[in-house]
Structure 1
Amino acid sequence: MANREIWGFEIPTSPSGKNIWPKALKREAVRRIDEEGASPGEIAAELDAHECLVRKWHVAARRARGDAILDNGPAFAEIKLRPDARPIEARPSNPDQARIVVGAVCIEFPISIDEDSLVKLVRAAGTAS
């Protein structure tokens, strides 16, 4: 495949058809995000690349600068059980419901719940116990 040019940078293509992104182009993409306020999606569209790739470059540059990269919190919530807790029936009473049982802690929720809401529910249960 023939090389192409973006923002004045030549983008070679590997024999398998993948773009080989020059370091200088990655730095320019990160600069446009940081200094011009462009979104990773906008940059990705200009490059004809995946947005997750541009985000990866941006996070790597921030880490290299020593910036703290915050996430949405821990992947797991701590759930503490009381020593006097009694077991709970594992099967929900409603077929449209699901139930997570850990010792005496029971979290019942609709099976249609989205992942983010379920994570919030589990975190809230962990802090309330």
Structure 2
Amino acid sequence: MTDRKIWGFEIPTTPSGKNIWPKTLKREAVRRIDEEGASPGEIAAELGAHECLVRKWHVAARRARGDTIMDNGAAFAEVKLTTESRSAAAPTSNSEQARIIVGSVSIEFPTSIDEANLAKLIRAAGATA
């Protein structure tokens, strides 16, 4: 294992290149976020770590303190079912259509869509909202 120093802390690195982050460094990262107002992205850049890892440390520390962690994102998406005829280029049969609206994104799809493809559409809509 090789070591490097960040903020005065020794960071052991495995032969495969994985950093082993000491608990004291994690506490210091959380302190800088809470007390100094640094963003997880700023801390991650200083450490050479992924931002999601620093966020994970911060959330874990907040949970350990008893804080309630909430996601302010939308919990539900509006789904409207309509019966519409298809365009002239498509077959002339009527089919039930559904619409998912997530933020400013609206996606229409047939109600006969399979569950896996519907899940892909919902993920795509959520990522662009």
Identity of aligned residues (%): 71
How much has 1:88 moved relative to structure 2?
1.8
Partners of 2:107 and 2:125 within 8 A in 1: no
Aligned partner of residue 15 in structure 2, secondary structure:
coil
Any gaps of 5 or more consecutive residues in structure 2? 90-95, 109-123
For residues 1-129 of structure 1, the aligned pairs below 5 Å read 2-73=2-73, 75-77=75-77, 88-89=83-84, 93=87, 101=98, 106-107=99-100, 109=106, 115-116=125-126
* CA displacement 1:96-119 (0-9 Å, x = unmatched): xxx952xxxx558368xx734887
Cα root mean square deviation, aligned: 3.5
* Between structures 1 and 2, the one with greater strand share: 2
Aligned residues: 104
Any gaps of 5 or more consecutive residues in structure 1? 82-86, 120-129
Aligned partner of residue 12 in structure 1, secondary structure:
strand
Partners of 1:100 and 1:107 within 8 A in 2: no
- State the 4+ residue runs in structure 1 displaced beyond 2 angstroms: 72-81, 91-95, 106-111, 114-119
- Return the structure number with greater relative CO, CA threshold 8 A, min gap 6: 1
- Cα 1:118–1:47 shift into 2, 3 Å: closer
